[in-house]
């Protein structure tokens, strides 16, 4: 049976002009994919209107009701019909589509929502009377007076009732509600000076508040940290580094978490361009590259980063949902993110996540599920009373053999030392070391863990993991100073590629050459591999080239060669570091602690795990009910 083209009939196809209803529904399919998309468009309009407080109410995941209330500038009654017309907007005049300072600018959100749902727009501008306008399935009713003090209320009911087929692609109410919450949280991060309230009114009534963020006061970083702490949790705020840098007219600021505060998935990565939440592969690839040397492949960094620049340097009109952007010079923001984060990680030094210590205390806490913690309070006894108590509580010693001289027991020793001033055998250097971040070594347990005392608590160090990181950093420094040695191939290996892959690979040839991989064009769509990194030994050059191209397609850049080189350095560092089970003298342990304090990134091993745990004395006392 021959192939039949079902799209074009035998007769010549006729070109028709679509009516406004069909045009609006097509636009709605691009702009409004699900209830979360509608919430995003309406909340962005409220932000553009200068609102100080925004309230979002949803029912059944936003399928049956979405209501957004704001206290912004409002809309005059005469402009309400125009606001529901396609490509009508007050945010741009159409003369310069590259100079956009607002979230919305296309004028498609409201008419698209009115084309697929039952939309009611009620607004009041200063000095004007309140008015309301309804539109259902693209059919607009006349404007009527309304009662509203100020601002705008947009109510969307029965989303996609005009396109029932779209309802079949909706997910469960819980999944849609979670998507709406995620959208509101992202917008709340970008606008810490605005108060946000999200309420679920399913079933009627006042409903329940699922998210609330009050407006934050203060300077930029203080307000941003408070907002991120409210949304992402206090742990993120405590374990994040402030970021602030500028390069070639682009400013990067925000917070990035320590490597030991990593996640198993990229669920805590928030990127914003000129205040707009985006999901851009180039930017996420830059974030991954910045943490490349500190996390294993199955761990992902946590960060909330904001890029501010002249709107003419970035195009936000490349995606229907405006979730992707395109920079005029993409290398500038990417390099800014990588270099700034690596500098911040280096300045963090040996710092490790505070959640590691909290997890350690949680593992040590002898709690009974459901039972309140027991608290013991007592005064410190005098030396005499303490000695008497020791003697009374001492176990009875067995009778000594005839002629044997009894050894002094605990009671005798405590009585002998009672009231006597014990000489302080601790040396002055040890006492001075306690004021240092990692303190002074006091012992070694299980021939692998160093116990150090600080002024405010204690530190437990994994000697093997810590020394492995120190050796690894030394090897990297030596390689950076001397370069990556390249091994010339006796017979260059020729790799045939497609035209696009060949051009893409030659674009990064300079970066690959720095890592010891020398390639050059060989005519047509082929490349010649003339050198490979000597430290890798014998490699399959063609397989490596194709893996590099796969990484370029997937993430926009490739660090495959660097990853393999550093994996070998890490393996060398592992074999050259202190082994578990080795006893260490006090001098060695203190020397290791001092070197950790002086070496960047020593708070985590080569795989992102912590090298030490810090426990505060107040937390330890709480374990024993002394708080």
Query: pLDDT tens digits, residue range 65-114?
Result: 999 999 998 888 888 888 887 766 655 544 555 555 566 555 577 888 88
Q: Check pLDDT > 50 for residue 410.
A: no
pLDDT bucket at 546, cuts 50 / 70 / 90: confident
* Cβ contact 503:549 at 8 Å: no
Location of structure tokens 């045009």: 23
Strands of the sheet containing 269-273, edge to edge, are 240-247, 250-257, 303-308, 269-273, 276-278
Give domain 429-627's CATH superfamily: MutL, C-terminal domain, dimerisation subdomain (3.30.1540.20)
Q: What is the pLDDT of residue 379?
A: 46
Query: Under a CB-based contact definition with an 8 Å cutoff, are residues 606 and 462 in contact?
Result: no
What is the pLDDT at residue 375? 44
**DSSP H helical segments within 272-317, as ranges?**
281-290
Give the model's pLDDT for residue 390.
47
- Indicate whether 6 pLDDT > 80: no
How many Å apart are CA 116 and CA 25, to the nearest integer? 7
Q: Work out the mean pLDDT of the chain and round it to a whole number.
A: 78
Per-residue pLDDT tens digits for 111-137: 888 888 899 999 999 989 999 999 988
pLDDT of 521 strictly over 80: yes
For the segment 39-60, the average pLDDT, to the nearest whole number, is 92
Which has the closest alpha carbon to 330: 318, 342, 321?
318
More confident residue, 625 or 175: 175
**SS3 category, 485:** coil
Q: Is 565 a residue whose pLDDT tops 70? A: no
What is the reported pLDDT for 97?
A: 54
Across residues 434-444, what is the average pLDDT? 84
Name the residue ranges covered by the structural domains of the chain: 20-213, 220-348, 429-627
- Which residues have C-beta within 8 Å of that of residue 214, sequence separation ≥ 6? 195
DSSP 146: -
- pLDDT confidence tier of residue 541, bands split at 50, 70 and 90: confident
First-last CA distance in the chain: 85
Residue among 270, 192, 273, 177 at smallest CA distance from 230: 192
How many other β-carbons are positioned within 10 Å of the β-carbon of residue 585? 10
Higher per-residue pLDDT: 400 or 308: 308
Least confident range from 17-26, 392-401, 494-503: namely 392-401
Tokens of 17: 């002009």
pLDDT reported for residue 10: 57
pLDDT for 415 beyond 90: no
Instruction: Specify whether the CB–CB gap between 526 and 497 falls below 8 A.
Output: yes
The confidence score (pLDDT) of residue 377 equals: 43
Separation CA 569–CA 292 (nearest Å): 14
Q: What's the mean pLDDT in 569-589?
A: 74
Identify the CATH number of the domain defined by range 20-213: 3.30.565.10
Looking at the chain, the whole-number percentage of residues with pLDDT higher than 90 is 19
Query: Residue 299 has what pLDDT?
Result: 82
Provide the pLDDT for residue 352.
Answer: 58
Backbone angles phi, psi at 374, to 5 degrees: -90, 135
Q: DSSP assignment of 312-362, as one string?
A: GGEE--SSTTS---EESSTHHHHHHHHHHHHHHHHHHTT---HHHHHHHHH
Backbone CA torsion sign across 530, 536, 538, 544: negative
**Residues 344-376: pLDDT tens digits?**
887 776 665 555 555 555 555 555 455 454 444
Residue 384 has pLDDT above 60, yes or no: no
Does pLDDT of 396 surpass 70? no
Residue-level pLDDT at 388: 55
CATH number among 1.10.1040.10, 3.30.230.10, 3.40.50.970, 3.40.50.300, domain 220-348: 3.30.230.10
Looking at residue 395, what DSSP letter applies? P
Round the CA-based radius of gyration of the chain to a whole number and report it: 33
Q: Tell how far CA 475 is from the center of its chain.
A: 29
Q: What is the pLDDT of residue 1?
A: 46
Kindly indicate the confidence band of residue 245, based on its pLDDT and cuts at 50, 70 and 90.
Answer: very high
Cα 344 versus chain centre, distance: 15
Which range has highest mean pLDDT (67-71, 101-105, 261-265, 442-446)?
A: 67-71
User: Above 50 in pLDDT, residue 592?
Assistant: yes
Beta bridge partners of 452: 441, 459
Whether the per-residue pLDDT at 209 is higher than 90: the answer is yes
Q: State phi, psi for 321 to the nearest 5 degrees.
A: -90, 5
Model pLDDT, residue 288: 85
**Tens digits of per-residue pLDDT, 194-208?**
999 999 999 888 889
The predicted structure's pLDDT at residue 433: 75
Looking at residue 430, what is its pLDDT? 65
Question: Residue 530 and residue 509: Cα distance in Å, rounded?
Answer: 12
Q: Of 139-148, 165-174, 316-325, which has the strongest mean pLDDT?
A: 139-148
Q: Residue 617 CA to chain centroid, in angstroms?
A: 31
C-alpha 228/C-alpha 303 separation (Å) is 10
Do residues 341 and 304 lie in contact, with contact meaning Cβ atoms separated by under 8 Å?
no
Which residue would you say has higher pLDDT here, 406 or 318? Answer: 318
Q: Region 491-503: what's the mean pLDDT?
A: 85
């Amino acid at each position: 049976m021959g192939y039949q083209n079902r799209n074009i009939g035998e007769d010549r196809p006729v070109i028709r002009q679509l009516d406004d209803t069909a045009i609006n529904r097509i636009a709605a399919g691009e702009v409004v994919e699900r209830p979360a998309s509608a919430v995003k468009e309406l909340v962005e309009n409220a932000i553009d209107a200068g609102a100080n407080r925004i309230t979002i109410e949803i029912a059944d995941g936003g399928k049956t009701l979405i209501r957004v209330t704001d206290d912004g500038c409002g809309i005059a009654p005469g402009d309400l019909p125009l606001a529901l017309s396609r490509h009508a907007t007050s945010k741009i005049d159409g003369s310069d589509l590259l100079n956009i300072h607002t979230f919305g600018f296309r004028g498609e959100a409201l008419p698209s929502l009115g084309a697929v749902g039952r939309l009611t727009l009620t607004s009041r501008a200063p000095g004007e009377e309140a008015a309301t306008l309804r539109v259902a399935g693209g059919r607009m009713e006349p404007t009527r007076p309304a009662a509203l003090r100020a601002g705008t209320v947009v109510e969307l009911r029965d989303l996609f009732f005009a396109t029932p087929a779209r309802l079949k692609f909706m997910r469960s109410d819980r999944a849609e509600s979670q998507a709406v919450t995620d959208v509101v949280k992202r917008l709340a991060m970008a606008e810490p000076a605005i108060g946000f309230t999200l309420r679920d009114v399913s079933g009627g009534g006042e409903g329940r508040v699922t998210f609330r963020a009050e407006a934050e006061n203060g300077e930029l970083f203080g307000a941003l940290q408070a907002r991120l702490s409210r949304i992402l949790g206090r742990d993120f705020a405590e374990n994040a580094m402030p970021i602030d840098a500028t390069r070639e007219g682009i400013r990067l600021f925000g917070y990035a978490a320590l490597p030991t505060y990593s996640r198993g998935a990229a669920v805590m990565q928030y990127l914003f361009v000129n205040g707009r939440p985006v999901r851009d592969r180039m930017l996420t690839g830059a974030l991954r590259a910045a943490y490349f040397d500190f996390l294993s492949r199955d761990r992902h960094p946590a960060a909330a980063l904001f890029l501010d620049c002249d709107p003419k340097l970035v195009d936000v009109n490349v995606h229907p949902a405006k979730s992707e952007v395109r920079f005029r010079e993409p290398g500038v923001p990417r390099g800014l993110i990588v270099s700034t984060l690596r500098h911040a990680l280096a300045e963090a030094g040996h710092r490790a996540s505070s959640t590691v210590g909290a997890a350690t205390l949680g593992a040590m806490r002898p709690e009974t599920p459901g039972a309140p913690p027991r608290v013991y309070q007592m005064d410190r006894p005098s030396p005499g009373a303490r000695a008497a108590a020791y003697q009374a509580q001492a176990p009875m010693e067995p009778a000594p053999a005839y002629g044997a001289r009894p050894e002094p027991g605990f009671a005798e020793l405590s009585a002998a030392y009672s009231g006597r001033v014990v000489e302080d055998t601790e040396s002055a250097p040890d006492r001075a070391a306690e004021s240092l971040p990692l303190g002074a070594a006091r012992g070694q347990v299980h021939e692998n863990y160093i116990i150090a005392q600080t002024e405010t608590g204690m530190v437990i160090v994994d000697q093997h993991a810590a020394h492995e990181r120190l050796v690894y950093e030394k090897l990297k420094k030596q390689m950076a100073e001397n370069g990556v040695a390249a091994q010339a191939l006796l017979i260059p290996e020729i790799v045939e590629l497609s035209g696009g892959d060949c051009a893409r690979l030659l674009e990064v040839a300079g970066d690959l050459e720095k890592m010891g991989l020398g390639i050059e064009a060989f005519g047509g769509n082929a490349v010649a591999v003339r050198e490979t990194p000597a430290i890798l030994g014998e490699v399959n050059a063609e397989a490596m080239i194709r893996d590099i191209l796969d990484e370029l397609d997937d993430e926009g850049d490739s660090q495959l060669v660097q990853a393999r080189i550093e994996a070998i350095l890490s393996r060398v560092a592992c074999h050259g570091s202190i082994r578990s089970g080795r006893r260490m003298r006090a001098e060695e342990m203190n020397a290791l602690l001092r070197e950790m304090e002086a070496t960047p990134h020593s708070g985590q091993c080569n795989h992102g795990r912590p090298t030490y745990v810090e426990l505060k004395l107040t937390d330890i006392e709480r374990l024993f009910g002394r708080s």
